[in-house]
Structure 1
């Protein structure tokens, strides 16, 4: 006779689950016991136990992002369940299918103010698309199936609550009685295709456009070939969101990388001049970087219907899968013969690459240039590499300097932009692809949150990985740098050291204490050698990179407000004013030199073109 817990474990296996991320506790104790029985019988799931429930939920979200499968996390009642919230919001805001299984006190404890008894359905009601307490064995089947079906179709987290006594009840087959549902563990298709009328309307807009831009998000994953073919026919330029970076290979010459504060100048400039905008699988939230209203005709394709037409006024909004839509759209697209729009973007990217190379070459007195650290990493990324970035300046340098070629992956916490996610993301990626080299890039503030703990998780499980190469880059500058710059640029406030300073820690020493390779580096000239050694090392390497806290993450276009606020903040007694002014000046001077050089080269090319015409 099996109990409810045994059934739930067998059922999630039917849904394709082979790995879960959990943390134990008495509220989920009977279920944990069933996991152990299933493991002994060879019918269980791989149970990964990191150091905190928040990490469990972030790992489940990362697993969904990197694999396309449903991520599953498990926690005990009230305190454990509450700790899942941040990771589940990451799944919610980045549209990821995650199912959380959480414990609860016994049925008779409901509403009696018992220890660790709380209203979990109310707690999870905002973050979860579906949350339900299993109150009887007959109900378990339909609740589990509905949670997985909803997570897959709505691309949102769902929560199954298992009271402790229900976990151990004998399982019964649902009957035909009234109020009893009999369900199936069959995943519905999400490959929705639009009607031909919508496809033709979209094709008419794209065919009429002379300056077509595709903004490609993570929701276009799996549609790389279709996006590239549609762009070729439309003469379109490709921009990817930060989370869509892995969808389009970086060596596509008219891929201008990202848009916005972390993006490129060619992406910024084409948004100011494009006449047609096609949004593919993206809910890009920074409307200030999109075309002005009325400037461009727009088409959007997305599986989340409530996000259609939300960021920019669209003429055609298609609720469908990106790949299916493009397969139907491609035969309707006309081949553009004028490729001047694409060529302008290609030329702009050459100039932009010169600019960011110049920024990376600058040397600072108060630490290494973080842009240079990332640029040297990018030069050495091996085939199949997976790179994670954290919220903060690590995302800035990741966006500007890291170029993901075909077969590489990269991701981060997107719309939530939570700190510390880079570590659980990297570890989850390593479990999903144990043969691939993984690089986690993270700031010292985020690393101190829970990131340092996850080196313990790595130590516990690394023997399972076919390729043990796992590298952690810590940007060590003793500052919550992104927030420091935001204080200046957004609110014209000086840096408040009381809130911003990060206690200096020997991160390399911490790695060595755990038996890993820990390397401290302080000189820009040494970082290339350190990266070479890290990729050659058959194991875990932590690179403790002492970088400048004053290097500004300069956007591709500096607004008057940005410059005004920064100047005001520095004049208000910013404790880092001298270093910030000096390092900003160096960065902008290097960028200006690169632009002047590019302008002169462009003039040479124009002169050559004139000579060709005259001849």
Structure 2
């Protein structure tokens, strides 16, 4: 049997260490599917139920492993469906390769069925974007695509016309007039050292040593630098705030952390940003600049030269890997007595944790979403991976899922899209088959890609799904009220869906919970189940994801929404009153 060009593609992926491709077949990629079949001993194909999920899986795989994630879709609509997941990779700066099909070269430009020029469509999302026009271009363009995805921490895209996929590997489909010599490449990416310039580190040390009220803000770029972050925090006596994608940088019970920052963050972190005279940003280009200090001097350790100093006026922008930069900085820091500054925030965090604990009340009716997450947190292993969708669930996870041991936490950070929680979990379970992987999702996000639970069952992946079912688009509900608008179009009609029935119909474990006293047992059974499991919990739809500090403008607009005829104001007022009482130590 003749070796086809698609085999050259698959073989090169394998040489790059790619062991998994997430995708969905179609007539635009039958040649690639044949290449995967012929080399199924080297590269595993994971069949999904929607191409968007394939892109999310590739993105989640890349986030969790640091290795390139690969997704595959057919021409036209298949390639279009990948886009949301690919933008998630682009905005969160992780390496993903998207491979798509294209109509035969002989019919391009004729308006043929499903003729969508995906290379043009992907111009914004992809750092490297190429249509293969000659089988001899493989594997060189695979090398360039993967190197670019790694180097620029983003998306690369290759699209292959049908006829070229099945052409003889390495051969031109027609005689060339003046054949050129293709570059001889190798499946190797030479990572930059990440070492900072010595003069930059000395400059950073000078500013940090003179700080009286230092603060650190760490993000996902520092996930591999936990020990170094803690060592610098100790040397500076600096409290450490964490971005949501950087939640796992240091443990949540560390004496140095003030928890999250931003809309889903903690009050101590907001106070820290207001009071700091020097802010040290490590591995983050935090996009919500309104939560950053207005007057403080800023030192930033950033891996990408284009992002260093791009978010906030920065006194000392340093281009380096977070771990390497902190290692170089540590010997230059002068230990000083800043214990009063640090102790102040430790006391504030003690109170904040007590407030959060009070909201994890098992006696609430309807069920408090904070209680559900607290049970997941209590029963999960110390190396569990939690994936999360966007919405109110991100608030509950940020505040009530505790990073300890080797736990990890992943969500769509900058794109903040709905629906990646379950696909992320499936990809991460493939990457780490021995670890507990839990998808914590809302009913809105789950329904978008709920077919992927069937994917988990069919592939015998023991992922666990916990659904925070408030029968609404909860985050949008509260955003409308903060803007002063009575809610509209954000609650689904009664009755609530029973997703546990869907789980059981797929062949997995499914439990429906409507009472607080049943939460712990159902989640415990799901975590102990040896296959895919889902627990659908009806939670209080009127529980507000309150910001750490409520501004006067937010409070005024919230009140105006009530006065304008908020349809559920009695239930909301009752919930707010109960929350306040419990924080006071009911």
Deviation at 1:172, TM superposition (A): 2.5
2:57 to 25, 48, 59: 59
Partner of 1:570: 562
Q: Deviations over 1:180-232 (max 9, x none)?
A: 33322111213321110001001111111122111111111211111111111
Query: Is 2:471–2:496's contact at 8 Å kept on the other side of the alignment?
Result: yes
Q: Deviations over 1:496-516 (max 9, x none)?
A: 147655762111111122222
Partner of 1:323: 323
- Pairing of 1:423-442 with structure 2 (within 5 A): 423-442=422-441
Is 2:227 aligned against 1:236? no
Compare 498-507 and 53-62 and name the one that shifted more: 498-507
SS in 2 for 1:279: strand
Q: Distance in 1 between matches of 2:193 and 2:495?
A: 49
Partner of 1:606: none
Instruction: Name the structure where helix makes up a greater proportion of residues.
Output: 1
Partner of 2:487: 495
SS in 2 for 1:306: coil
Partner of 1:537: 529
Query: Is 1:141–1:182's contact at 8 Å kept on the other side of the alignment?
Result: no
Query: Is 1:426–1:440's contact at 8 Å kept on the other side of the alignment?
Result: yes
Deviation at 1:534, TM superposition (A): 2.6
Query: Is 1:511–1:542's contact at 8 Å kept on the other side of the alignment?
Result: yes
Q: Distance in 1 between matches of 2:126 and 2:476?
A: 29
Compare 268-277 and 137-146 and name the one that shifted more: 137-146
- Structure 2 spans left out of the alignment, 5+ residues: none
Q: TM-score, length-normalised on structure 1?
A: 0.91
Partner of 2:469: 476
CA change 1:209–1:371 in 2 (3 A) is: same
Compare 174-183 and 453-462 and name the one that shifted more: 174-183
Q: CA RMSD in A?
A: 1.9
Compare 371-380 and 159-168 and name the one that shifted more: 371-380
Deviation at 1:364, TM superposition (A): 4.5
Q: Distance in 2 between matches of 1:233 and 1:576?
A: 51
Partner of 1:264: 266
- Pairing of 1:116-195 with structure 2 (within 5 A): 116-172=114-170, 178=180, 180-195=182-197
- Structure 1 spans left out of the alignment, 5+ residues: 598-615
Query: Is 1:511–1:517's contact at 8 Å kept on the other side of the alignment?
Result: yes
Between Structure 1 and Structure 2, how many residues are aligned? 581
Deviation at 1:460, TM superposition (A): 0.7
Q: Deviations over 1:279-313 (max 9, x none)?
A: 11112111121111xx2111111222222212221
Partner of 1:558: 550
Query: Is 1:254–1:343's contact at 8 Å kept on the other side of the alignment?
Result: no
CA change 1:503–1:147 in 2 (3 A) is: farther
Q: Distance in 1 between matches of 2:477 and 2:364?
A: 18
- Pairing of 1:133-532 with structure 2 (within 5 A): 133-172=131-170, 178=180, 180-292=182-294, 295-361=295-361, 363-365=363-365, 367-450=366-449, 452-462=450-460, 468=462, 470-489=463-482, 491-497=483-489, 501=493, 504-532=496-524
CA change 1:360–1:499 in 2 (3 A) is: closer
Q: Deviations over 1:58-112 (max 9, x none)?
A: 0000000000000000011011000000000000000010000110011122222
SS in 2 for 1:305: coil
Q: TM-score, length-normalised on structure 2?
A: 0.96
CA change 1:349–1:169 in 2 (3 A) is: same
Query: Is 1:412–1:421's contact at 8 Å kept on the other side of the alignment?
Result: yes
